[in-house]
Structure 1
């Protein structure tokens, strides 16, 4: 589905919009909407797809941490499958991702892993970022640091980003303050990281829907298509609803 807000030359060249950072209530304790509701909300705003990036086990998860590993991973996959089933019936792509909190409230958005990967690595969430990143990259995945310089009471600001383990950085997060996003943009440029943009949306009625993400020339049929576009720098950022060249 092409975005309905196509007007300028960039919008015509990059008509397919994707959210890269959103949550649902099945797996994120801070979210308020069902996975199907999230998919519908983005489709209604003209997006072609979204990546469901629920909080992993050290973050604000809604998954019972006392469950066996396989059952915990199935909870994440079931939420994704529910959103995907809705999307498949309505010409809307849904891809799987995670937001992994690796310490002190610092988080990385994880793309390109699947259920088989998760089941193969019990206690993945307990690994230091260096080992977590190595496994994700071995699987062909992509890591972008979520809101790198968000300053909140629950985040340990003495823990600095570790660019050597990252592929990208979220230079626009809808809920960040402008100086936080500006610092993230400088950080990405300094360390040659690919810029990403995310709405960080937790409910289907959120005003952030339509305000963030990435826009592609061609529809992404898989998460790998999205990763390939990032790595080729063949995309635009969505910043406050407008397209911005990278």
Structure 2
């Protein structure tokens, strides 16, 4: 049996650029035959512009609201996991972080003020994985390869040429690879993700799958 998982999703209440409520995202992905989803709302200056810009940790309940809602209403056979798309102050670079949980996130300070090297060390101290998202979009700087585990080599909102450059960069440097839709609106539904032969029931399963790359990447050009 095959299982499909979305790894890059933004919700309306949290990500300012998101346009769809958590319950609708859940319904849409279930209708498309997905078995689970990772919510990666923007943890960025734009998200917290009106929510304690310099102390986002004080508004962590705001950040977690979509995850908590979807987790509460999802049926038992649909896995909802928490991720982060992190952007630091003064940069256009985005980093997808997989493996995080509510308790850890609520105990952190301002992650936007933790730069690449320190971010990577912090995430690795917890066993999390860090991927640079859509690294060949205009205005984005390819990061120091020492500070990422992998690369989002297929992004559903990014042109084919840029995705192909990302894939070549990842392969040349021996990095892990992943695919995600970068869902913001219904037009982005089910453009990416991964297909596994075994179910992913929690973050531990997700990290094992990502490290082994024992999956097929969804690409919908």
Same fold (TM over 0.5): yes
Alignment partner of 1:44 out of 15, 31, 44: 31
Q: Given that residues 167 and 194 in structure 1 are in contact (C-alpha distance below 8 angstroms), is that contact kept between their aligned partners in structure 2?
A: yes
Q: 2:179 aligns with which of 194, 197, 202?
A: 197
Q: CA RMSD in A?
A: 1.9
Gaps of 5+ in 1: 1-11, 242-246
Of 61, 81, 84, 1:98 maps to: 84
Provide the rounded CA distance (Å) in 2 between the counterparts of 1:146 and 1:63.
25
Q: What residue in structure 2 maps to residue 84 of structure 1?
A: 71
Contact 2:16 2:46 in 1 (8 A): no
Q: C-alpha distance in 2, partners of 1:61/1:213?
A: 27
1:186 aligned onto 2:168: yes
Q: Could you list the runs of 5+ residues in structure 2 that have no partner in the other structure?
A: none
Aligned to 1:125: 112
Is this contact kept in 2: 1:19–1:198, CA < 8 A? yes
C-alpha distance 238-62 of structure 1, shift in aligned 2 (>3 A): farther
When normalised by structure 2's length, the TM-score is 0.92
Which residue among 182, 187, 191 is the counterpart of 1:211? 191
Deviations 1:52-76 (A, max 9, x none): 0000033445761359654411222
For residues 68 and 59 of structure 1, what CA distance do their matches in structure 2 show? 13
Aligned equivalent of 1:226: 206
Per-residue CA deviations over 1:18-47 (Å, capped at 9, x if unaligned) read 000010011100011111111111111000
Q: 1:171 aligns with which of 114, 130, 153?
A: 153
Instruction: Give the 3-state SS of the residue equivalent to 2:13 in structure 1.
Output: coil
Correspondence 1:239 to 2:216:
no
**1:95-116: per-residue Cα shift (whole Å, max 9, x none)?**
0011011342110001111222
2:130 alignment partner, SS class:
strand
TM-score, normalization by structure 1: 0.83
* Residues in 2 aligned to 1:71 and 1:35: alpha-carbon distance in whole angstroms: 22
Number of aligned positions between the proteins: 220
Q: 1:163-207: CA deviations, max 9, x gaps?
A: 21111101111111111101100110011111100100112x22x
Task: State the Cα distance separating 1:86 from its structure 2 match.
Answer: 2.0
